[in-house]
Amino acid sequence: MSSPQHSAAASRYRSLLSPLDLGPFEVRNRIVMGSMHTGLEDDPSDAKKLAAYLGERARGGVGLIVTGGFSPDRSGRLTPRGSQADARTLRAHELITREVHEADGRIVLQLLHAGRYAFHPLSASPSGGKSPLSPFRSRRLTRGGVQRTIDHFAEAARRAVDAGYDGVEIMGSEGYLLNQFLAPATNHRRDRWGRTSEGRRAVPLAIAAAVRDAIGDDALLSYRISLLDLVPEGQTWTETTALAQSLVRAGVDVLSTGIGWHEARVPTIVTSVPRAAFAEQTQHLRELVGVPVVASNRIHDPDVAEQVLASGQADLISMARPLLADPQLPNKLADGRAGQVLACISCNQACLDKVFDGKRASCLVNPRAAHETELVLTPVIERRIRKVAVVGAGPAGLEAALAAAERGHIVTLYEATDEIGGQLRLAARIPGKEDYAQALQSWRMRLAAAGVGIRLGMRPTATELQGFHDVIVATGVAPREIALERSGGPEVISYADLLEGRAEAGEKVAIIGAGGIGVDVAEYLTAPRPSPTLDVGRWREHWGVVDADSTRGGVITRPREEARREVHLLQRKETRIGAGLGRTTGWVHRAELRHAGVIQHRGVTYERIDEAGLHITEDGEARVLDVDTVVVCAGQVSVNALADEVIAERRGRAPRVHVIGGADVAAELDAERAIRQAVQVAAGL
C-alpha cells in the first residue's frame, strides 16, 4: 500500500512518472537520461567505471538511458582515440548492460559519426571542408564511402544489441555527420545524396532503414533529430518534418529532439537559456508524427518537465545534466522528496567544458558523477561517528556539511550572515543565472533532511569550536581591495556591495578586473530588464531565433538594443577579455558584452582617481575615463584566520582542522574545485 507522501508525489508528477509503451518494451517513467559523453566511453578498460556511473542512474529510477555517442567506424570518431562501437568495446559493454538491467532499467547505445567535427585527419563529411570546431580539413565521402558508412552503422547497431543493449539511437542532430548531409550549408553534392532536399535526407533515411533491419523489431530504434539548426543555410521546418515522417516510415520508434549545431552562435543549453525554451517546436513535431517524441534542452526543473508533458508538448523528457547532478532524481520525485533534488545549474564547468578539453566529465554540484568507483562516501560505524563543525555556508561549506552528515557524522554548520550561499548567492543575482537560487534551495532541503544543525548569523570563536572532533573552515573570500590614489571623483564600490544592494552604480561605470566576476558585473549592469531568461519570446528576439520556414536554419543577425549604461571593462592582462571563461559558455558571455556595447580595455595600468574620473595608461598612453562609478572586481583574498586560531587554541588531540574552498585558495573562484575538495575531505573523516 503506497504512503500518502508517495501518492501525493505521484499525483504531482502524474505525467512524468507514468509508464510508456515504446514499442518493443515499456519504460517505467517518462524520464530519459539523454546522451552525454563523459570520457569513460573512449577506453574499453573503463567499462567498469562506466557501468558504475550508468548503473547508479538506473537504480535511481530513470526510465531510459542513452549512452554517450559511439562512432560506427574510425573516420567518425570525435578524437583519434575516441569511442567506437567496435567488437572489442562492445564485448566489454556486456558489464554495463547487465548492471542497468539488474536495476530494472533500459539502455540504448547512441551511434554518432562526427563528420567534419572530428578532431583528427581521417575525418570525412558530405562535401569535405573544415568546420570551426576542428583544425583538420575533412575529406569528401565518395559514393562508395557513403555506402560503407551506411553499412558500418548497421553493423555497429547489431553488435550493440548483441551486447545486451535494448536498442540504439542514431545521432542526427547537433551538426554531426547526418545533420551535415541534411543542410545546404554543408551538403553541396550533385549526386543522389545531395542536390535536392529529398537527396539530402537520403543518407539519414538509408541509415535508419539499415539499422532497423540489423536490429530487428524487438529492439528500440531512436533517432535524434535536429528541430532547429540555428546556422545559416540550415534546414527549413518543412524539410525537418518531411524527414521526421520519413523516419517513422523507415521504422524509427522514437524521435528525440535536438536544438542547434555546436557551431551555432545561439546558446541552447547554458543557464541563460529559458527553461523549456524549445518545447513549442517539439509540440509541432509531435502533432505530425505517430511515434513518441522526446523534448530536450533546458528542461531541468521537474515541475517544468511535468508541465511540458501534461500540456501535450512531448511524450518524454530528456534530462542529461540533471541526472549527472542527481542520479536519484526519479526516485526522489516518486518518494515525495522533490525539494531534495540536487539542482543542475547548467554551468557546464565540470561536464561539457571538461569533455571539450579532453578530460573526464563530472558535475560541479556532484563531484562523484563519473567517479563513483573513486570518490566513495562510506557510511561510518557508530563508534567512529565524529562531531563536525563546518564554518561558512558557501558552496564548499554546504557540501562538506551535507556529505559528512550523509556519512553519519554529527554536523553543525555555522554562517556569519543570515543567508546561506556565499558567492553563489551573489551569482544568482546576475541576469541569466537565476537558476543558481534553485541550487541553494535544494541545499537547504537536503541539509534539513540530513539532520545538519544550521546556525545562521553566528561567527563561532576558536574557543567555542574546541568541543568538536573536526573543524572544517570554509569561510570563503573577501573582495580584494586596490591601492589607488584618490582625491574626490567617482564613487568606488566593491562587486559584493553592488550585488548585495548596499551600493548602486551610475550611468557611466568602469569595472576594474575582467575575470569571471568582472564579466558577470558587466552583464548585471547592461542586461535588459526583465531578464530575457525569464521570457522565451523576449529571449528568442534577443538572440535572433526565428521560424525556420521564414529563414533557413531559424536564425537571423541579432537585432541591436538600446544600451542601458556606458560600461568600461578593464584588465591588466593583454589577453582577450573573457579568455579564462568556460570553454562552452565563455563565447556566450563575450557575445553579450559585444551586444551590449561594453567598452573593453586590455593591458591597462591604473593610475589614480580624481574629479576628472579614472586615470589609466593603455597602450602606453595616458587616458581618463569620465565615469561616475568604479566597481572593483580585482580578485579575492582568502578569509582563513579562524583555522590558525583554532589550532593555537586547541589542547590535546581535538579538533582536527581542515581548510577548504576559497578559504584555502582564492584564485579565480573555482566552485568546482571547492565542492570537490569539500566532498573529499568529508569522505576522509
Helices within 451-601 (DSSP H only)? 495-500, 516-526, 536-543, 586-595
Which architecture does CATH list for 4-336? Alpha-Beta Barrel (3.20)
Beta-carbon contacts of 260 under 8 Å, excluding residues fewer than 6 positions away, are 174, 175, 226, 228, 229, 230, 231, 266, 268
Q: 13-27, 266-280, 648-662: lowest mean pLDDT where?
A: 648-662
Beta bridge partners of 610: 487, 613
Please state, as a whole number, how many other Cβ atoms lie within 10 Å of the Cβ of residue 267: 24
* pLDDT at site 348: 94
Residue 294 has pLDDT above 60, yes or no: yes
* Cis peptide leading into residue 327 (ω within 30°): no
Question: Which of 53, 165, 176, 524 does the annotation list as catalytic?
Answer: 176
Amino acid 165 reads Y
The pLDDT tens digits of the residues spanning 177-216 come to 999 999 999 999 999 999 999 999 999 999 999 999 999 9
In single-letter form, the type of residue at position 125 comes to S
The model's pLDDT over 113-160, given as tens digits with 9 standing for 90+, comes to 999 999 999 999 999 999 999 999 999 999 999 999 999 999 999 999
Residue 13 is predicted with a pLDDT of 96
Mean pLDDT taken over the chain? 95
Written out in words, the top-level CATH class of the domain with range 481-527+564-634 is alpha beta
Question: Residues 362-368: contacts with CB within 8 Å, 24+ apart?
Answer: 362/324, 362/672, 362/676, 363/321, 363/324, 363/325, 364/671, 364/672, 364/675, 365/325, 365/395, 365/399, 365/439, 365/675, 366/324, 366/325, 366/326, 366/342, 367/672, 367/675, 367/676, 367/679, 367/680, 368/679
Which grid coordinates are listed for 506? Answer: 551610475
Place of cell 514499442: 23
Cβ atoms within 10 Å, residue 383: 5
Residues 6 or more apart whose Cβ sits within 8 Å of residue 584: 270, 348, 352, 353, 356
pLDDT, one tens digit per residue, over 461-506 is: 999 999 999 999 999 999 998 889 999 999 999 999 999 999 999 9
pLDDT at 668: 63
Residue with cell 539530402: 200
DSSP letter, residue 378: P
Q: Which of 294, 316, 305 is nearest to 29 (CA)?
A: 316
Distance from C-alpha of 348 to C-alpha of 268, rounded to nearest angstrom: 12
- For 510-543, b/e burial (b = at least 16 CB within 10 A) is bbbbbbbbbbbbbbbbbbbeebbbeebeebbebb
Q: How far apart are CA 560 and CA 571, in angstroms?
A: 26
Q: In the block, which residue shows the cell 515499456?
A: 26
Report pLDDT digits (tens) over 414-426: 999 999 999 999 9
Inform me whether the pLDDT recorded for 11 exceeds 90: no
Where residue 651 falls among pLDDT bands split at 50, 70, 90?
confident
Q: pLDDT at residue 1 above 50?
A: no
Residue 606 annotated to the active site: no
Lowest-confidence pick of 285-289, 329-333, 381-385: 381-385
DSSP-based three-state secondary structure for 424: helix
Fold of the domain spanning 382-478+638-683: Rossmann fold (3.40.50)
**CA–CA separation, 633 and 493 (whole Å):** 9
Distance (Å, rounded) from C-alpha 286 to C-alpha 44?
Answer: 37
The answer to whether residue 23 scores a pLDDT higher than 90 is: no
Residue 124 neighbours by CB under 8 Å, 6+ apart: 75, 76, 115, 118, 138, 139, 140, 141, 145, 149
**CA-to-CA distance for 526 and 597, rounded, in angstroms?**
9
pLDDT in the model for residue 85 = 97
Domain ranges of the chain: 4-336, 382-478+638-683, 481-527+564-634
Least confident segment among 202-216, 623-637, 651-665? 651-665
Pairing of strands 124-125, 129-130: unpaired
Between 106 and 653, residue with greater pLDDT: 106
